[in-house]
Amino acid sequence: MSLLDSTRKVIVPIHKEGYIFIAIALVATLVLGHLWTPFGWIGALITLWVCYFFRDPVRITPQRAGLVISPADGRVSQVALALPPPELNLPAEPMTRISIFMNVFDCHVNRAPVPGRIVKMAYTPGLFLNAELDKASDDNERNALAIETSFGTVGVVQIAGLIARRIVPFVKEGEVIATGERFGLIRFGSRVDVYLPTSVVPLVGEGQTAIAGETVLADATTPEIEKRSYRGI
As a whole number of angstroms, the distance between CA 70 and CA 63 comes to 13
CB < 8 Å & 24+ apart, contacts of 61-65 = 61/111, 61/179, 61/180, 61/213, 61/214, 62/179, 62/214, 62/216, 63/179, 64/221, 65/150, 65/221
Decide if 199 is catalytic: no
Secondary structure of residue 8 in the 3-state scheme: helix
Find out whether 180 and 34 touch, Cβ atoms under 8 Å: no
As a whole number of angstroms, the distance between CA 175 and CA 117 comes to 6
From 6, 190, 199, 229, the catalytic residue: 190
Q: Which residues are tagged catalytic?
A: 190
